[in-house]
Each structure stands twice: as C-alpha cells, then as structure tokens.
Amino acid sequence: MMKHKSLRRFLKARKFDLDKTAHMWAEMLNWRKDNGVDSITQDFVYDEYELVQRYYPHGFHGVDKEGRPLYIERLGKAEPSKLMSVTTVERFLKYHVQGFEKTFKEKFPACSIAVKKHICSTTTILDVHGVNWMSFGKVAHDLVMRIQKIDGDNYPETLHQMFIVNAGNGFKLLWNTAKGFLDPRTTAKIHVLGHKFLNRLSEVIDPSQLPEFLGGTCLCPNEGGCLRSDKGPWNEPEIMKLVHAFYVGEAFYSRKISSSSDCDDLEIKSASSKVPTRGIISADSESDGRVCNYAAMQVMPLDAEVSMIEFCVYLFLNMI
Ligand SMILES: [Zn+2]
C-alpha cells in the first residue's frame, strides 16, 4: 500500500473535480504497481550517483524559514551529454522517483516534526548561472519532459515555490512570454531572478541554510560540499526515530483512520500522537496559515473540503 495518501494534493491538481481526481488517483496507483514504486527505496541502488552528481549537481540542502526542505540544482554546471554517458534515461528516472519516495517517507515527516506543523512541499532553487540552453539536446529535453509527466501525474502540488536565480536577460524575456501561456497558479510559484537574488532569497531562507555559491554561509566541507551533504532534519537521529516508529505502526493507523473524516495529512496526524504537541499549523501551499488541530480535524466547513472528505472515505473503503 502507498505510504502517502495526500489526496488533497490530487484534488487540488484537478481543481476539486471528483471524477477527474478519481481517474488521476487510479492512474497513479497503477503506475506505482507497474513500476514497483512501493519498494523502490529498498530495491533500487543507484551505483552511478557520484558520476551523476558530477555532471548534474543537485540535492537537498537544509530548510526554508518555514521548515520546508530546500532542493537545489546547479543547472549551469550540468553537462547533459556526459550525464547520459554515465547513466541511462530509465535508470535516471528510477533514481528520480526514489528521491521523491524518500522525500515523502523521510523528509516531509522529519521536517514536520522539526517545526511542529505539517510540511508537504519543497522550496526549489535552480541556479542557471552559465547555462548554455543550446547544449541541452534532444535527450535532455525528452528527459525533462518525462520527469515533468511523472511528477505532475503522481506527485502533484509538491512545489511550494521555485526560485530561478542568475537568469540572464534572454531567459527573463522568454519567461515573461511563456508566463502568458501557463496556469497562473503555477507561474505564481515561480520567481525568476537575475544576479542580485540574495535579498529575495534571504526573505524565505536563512543564510545558514544556503550554500556559499548561492551567497549563503554553508560549505559542508566534511560531506564533499553542500549538494552531497543532504543536510536537514531528516538526518537528525532523534527525529528519525520518531519517523521510523511511525512507519512501523502505519498499517495499524491506516486501518484505524479509514473510518475517520480526514485522510489528508495522515502521517502527521498519527505521528503527532508521539510528538509532544497537538496543534499543528497547515503549511500547505495554498493555506492561509490557519491552525488545524489534528485531534479535531473537522474544522473545515468549506463545501470543497466536505466533498473531499466524502471522496476520501469512498476511496479508502475501496482501495485499502
Ligand atoms: Zn552546506
């Protein structure tokens, strides 16, 4: 069974259209089954990680000011053709999916425990300094397209904000044109910044969480640099003890909760019984920051939310 049941994200992605959401959800379950996603964190070993990291520097590093995991890519340092000489598209996609699964199993729960509020999205920084867009050939283009499809279909609504930094004038112009064709909900999350990006980034990220190459103070010298360090609450033993304790009990919790009115944010609801706090603030991307008491979650009288709850109960009765 899937480890995360964030139906709300799927509902949001389909603008609360229940038929479309049900279809999307079913497709996602099929995809997980066909690709062995439930066990991918244990089954798949990405031996070529070190080389991939060299030709495509990327990784999680720290948290933003509200406690969301920070994901960084140095696209300007990426070398697509060399990347494709050390891995294959299929293996890279598996690695990508494995990364998402770890984010749901470890990073979001750990971050939620660390800040005592529900975390279910990431803040992303793409450093495009020195990117030669022409060097991104067909294979890289296809890869990006396939990644976007996998993410959009199976991990919707997990991006809180994206900062594209060191963008040149050409990129900015392109972005301003492209914006007109994109969903405003998406464009509102994406900020294209030039070389003077630090002030804007500092509004949402503490400099201690930013690598030096982005103007922050972190170097992670003992881990081979910031993008290899995977630093964050998900590496704190005390927090991970709680996260793992929760997963051992998950089967029990999911059955118990299937008759409950809320099936979104289940992980934290269950975990919160082990954490010395009951009040958790929803840090959902479109939340207004209201306090949701997870012990009494029925504080959402909105029609959409009610439909969502009915839909959740229906799905759980049919799928568990
Ligand atoms: Zn660092």
Range with the poorest average pLDDT among 114-128, 129-143, 226-240? 129-143
More confident residue, 294 or 91: 91
If you measure from the C-alpha of residue 207 to the centroid of ligand 1, how many angstroms do you get, rounded to a whole number?
A: 10
If you measure from the C-alpha of residue 37 to the centroid of ligand 1, how many angstroms do you get, rounded to a whole number?
A: 30
Whole-structure pTM value: 0.76
The tens digit of pLDDT for each residue in 61-116 reads: 999 999 999 999 999 899 888 999 999 999 999 999 999 999 999 999 999 999 99
More confident residue, 244 or 260: 244
pLDDT at residue 30 above 70?
yes
CA distances from 239 to 70, 112, 244, 274 (A): 18, 10, 9, 11
- Give the chain's domains with CATH numbers: 7-35+238-318 (no CATH), 41-233 (3.40.525.10)
Range with the poorest average pLDDT among 6-15, 175-184, 301-310? 301-310
The predicted structure's pLDDT at residue 106: 94
Tell me the average pLDDT of the chain: 79
If you measure from the C-alpha of residue 235 to the centroid of ligand 1, how many angstroms do you get, rounded to a whole number?
A: 13
pLDDT at residue 137 above 90?
no
The DSSP string of 191-240 is: EE--S--HHHHHHHS-GGGSBGGGTSSB--GGGTSHHHH--SGGG-HHHH
Q: List, as ranges, residues with CB under 5 A of the ion ligand 1.
A: 218, 220, 226
If you measure from the C-alpha of residue 209 to the centroid of ligand 1, how many angstroms do you get, rounded to a whole number?
A: 7
